[in-house]
Amino acid sequence: MSAENLDQAWKVSKRPANISRSFQFETYDALRQFLDDLADVSEKAGYYPNLNFTRTQVNVSIESDADELGSREYQFAEQTDALLTQQAA
């Protein structure tokens, strides 16, 4: 995956190298489920994004340890997006 394939809701920054996106939810319970699911994805990937959240919104920031974003960061963004599809199902 690369920036060209990334959902346009993600904001890509080169300095510092990160990808960020806000997710809005109807209820706190929906937000909490998303955060729990994201924690599972994080544990499996061994990658932990920065999260800031309110009652119904979460900002996810995926940062690179390198000077540039790599496949690891883009794949994590893709997995994060997939959680929304799973919740809608």
pLDDT in tens, 28-82: 999 999 999 999 999 999 999 999 999 999 999 999 988 899 999 999 999 999 9
Least confident range of 22-26, 55-59, 84-88: 84-88
Identify the pLDDT of residue 89: 61
Q: Which domains does the chain have, with CATH numbers?
A: 3-88 (3.30.1360.20)
pLDDT surpassing 70 at residue 12: yes
Identify the pLDDT of residue 88: 65
Rounded to 10 degrees, the C-alpha dihedral 75/80/81/86 comes to 120
Q: What pairs with residue 11 in β-bridges? A: 20
User: What is the chain's alpha carbon radius of gyration, rounded to the nearest angstrom?
Assistant: 13
C-alpha 80 chain-centroid distance: 5
Residue the block writes with tokens 């979460």: 58
Mean pLDDT of 1-24: 87
